[in-house]
Amino acid sequence: MAFKLLLRTTLLAGAAAITLGTAANAADWRGWNIHPEGYPNTVALEKFAKDVTDRTEGRVTAQVYNNAVLGDQPDAIDQVRNGALDFANFNLGPMGEFVPSINVLSLPFLFTGVDQMHAVMDGEIGQRFSDDMSNEGIISLAWFDSGARSFYDTKKPIETPADLDGLKIRVMNNQLYVDMVDDMGGNATPMAYGEVYQSLKTGVLDGAENNFPSFESSNHYEVAKFYSLSEHLILPECVCISKTSWDSLTPQDQEIVRQAAVEAALEQRKLWAEQEKASRRKVEEAGVTINEIADKTPFQEKMKPVYDGFLEANPDLKPLVEEIQATEVAG
Ligand code: GTR
């Protein structure tokens, strides 16, 4: 027994010595991902990890962990901030709890459409957002697409805010979303993404809100048969690196990582456009009723207190909100 243990210890020590000997500064990077295999973000993040591993010739070995196995999103953001995780694809919704200016993006109906979101994020304002994130320990290298989020529920189509009355709607972790749903007339319930399916099934929740690809890949569509096109949030996502991990790289490797992230985002946006259509088709075929909302004005009008409250608490962010709203879409 003692001999076996000794042998094992010796072998392990030997293996560690070999590893250290072959690549003195090799870093093993762990990447957080909420989505399952095959999802556009997953495919793109895995490509990023592979490109980083290949192009740094093993100085960085990056591995993606799917399905939020490393923790739920707010937790993972904190872990990237403090260096416990190295990289991730995050939605900028929950990010607002950590980087106040990012909360501007969570103001409902902020953008006129996905094109305007791209114009903002790919321009100088997007750069300002990355600078603010970097000050909080998160290096954002590229933006992923996440379409528009709409309500879905197990009870009925949502035509007007009155239809949300009394419905328990899951929201992501951000006080702005609680206010958003409550002010529209529903009952907001913040909850981790991974718990929503079961909660819809057992009636703990009546509904939630998300884009078509997530509505489909999470299987929420099996339970929630009404999807109403409110498109109240258009939230960008990031390819983010922990500042601790970033600072440990040589400038040359930083460039490799940045380039890999930019290429991953190009790939993700392409896949995203296809997936939105495919997911919509799939849920329709599975019997989901998709309800166009002819007039979104009543929903938008209900959001005045959300804007007023936010701007009262953050008067310094008013010019940024106005700048975003005034951003023109090219072409
Ligand atoms: C998805 C998004 C995830 C997560 C999820 C949620 O659209 O890509 O990062 O935010 O929504 O609702 O929690």
128 and 220 fall within a common domain: no
Q: Does the pLDDT value for residue 2 go beyond 60?
A: no
CA 29 – ligand 1 centroid, Å: 22
Residue 153 domain-assigned (yes or no): yes
Nearest Cα to 87, choosing from 242, 280, 285? 242
Ligand 1, CB cutoff 6 Å, lining residues: 34, 73, 91, 93, 146, 172, 193, 210-211, 214, 237
Q: What is the CA radius of gyration of the chain?
A: 22
196 and 287 fall within a common domain: yes
* Rounded CA separation 170/93 (Å): 14
242 and 316 fall within a common domain: no
Nearest CA residue ID for atom 13, ligand 1: 193
| High-pLDDT (> 70) share of the chain, % | 92
Q: Does the pLDDT value for residue 20 go beyond 60?
A: no
Confidence of residue 36 (pLDDT cuts 50, 70, 90): very high
Confidence of residue 18 (pLDDT cuts 50, 70, 90): very low
Residue 56 domain-assigned (yes or no): yes
Confidence of residue 23 (pLDDT cuts 50, 70, 90): very low
pLDDT digits (tens, 9 = 90+) for 288-321: 999 999 999 999 999 999 999 999 999 999 999 9
CA 236 – ligand 1 centroid, Å: 10
**Neighbour order of strands in the sheet with 237-242:** 60-65, 27-32, 87-91, 237-242, 138-144
134 and 171 fall within a common domain: no
Cβ neighbours, 10 Å, residue 243:
19
pLDDT digits (tens, 9 = 90+) for 182-225: 999 999 999 999 999 999 999 999 999 999 999 999 999 999 99
Q: Does the pLDDT value for residue 278 go beyond 70?
A: yes
Q: Does the pLDDT value for residue 3 go beyond 50?
A: no
Please give the pLDDT value at position 180: 98
Q: Please name the helix (run of DSSP H) or strand (run of DSSP E) that holds residue 290, with its range, or none.
A: strand 289-291
Q: Which two tokens stand for residue 61?
A: 């070995």
**For residues 76-94, average pLDDT:** 98
Residue 80 domain-assigned (yes or no): yes
174 and 267 fall within a common domain: no
75 and 49 fall within a common domain: yes
Residue 53 structural domain:
26-145+236-277
* Sign of the alpha-carbon torsion through 33, 36, 38, 40: negative
CA 193 – ligand 1 centroid, Å: 7
- Work out which ligand 1 atom sits closest to the CA atom of 193: 13
- Ligand 1 pocket test, pick from 91, 171, 199, 271 with the greatest ligand atom count within 8 Å of Cβ, gives 91
Please give the pLDDT value at position 247: 98
Confidence of residue 134 (pLDDT cuts 50, 70, 90): very high
Nearest Cα to 34, choosing from 172, 140, 127? 172
Please give the pLDDT value at position 184: 98
CA 224 – ligand 1 centroid, Å: 17
- Ligand 1 pocket test, pick from 32, 33, 34, 173 with the greatest ligand atom count within 8 Å of Cβ, gives 34
Confidence of residue 173 (pLDDT cuts 50, 70, 90): very high
Residue 10 domain-assigned (yes or no): no
> Pairing relation of β-strands 289-291 and 138-144?
unpaired
* Rounded CA separation 180/13 (Å): 56
225 and 243 fall within a common domain: no
- Ligand 1 pocket test, pick from 210, 231, 234 with the greatest ligand atom count within 8 Å of Cβ, gives 210
User: How does the average pLDDT of the chain come out, rounded?
Assistant: 93
Number of domains within the chain: 2
* Rounded CA separation 208/193 (Å): 10
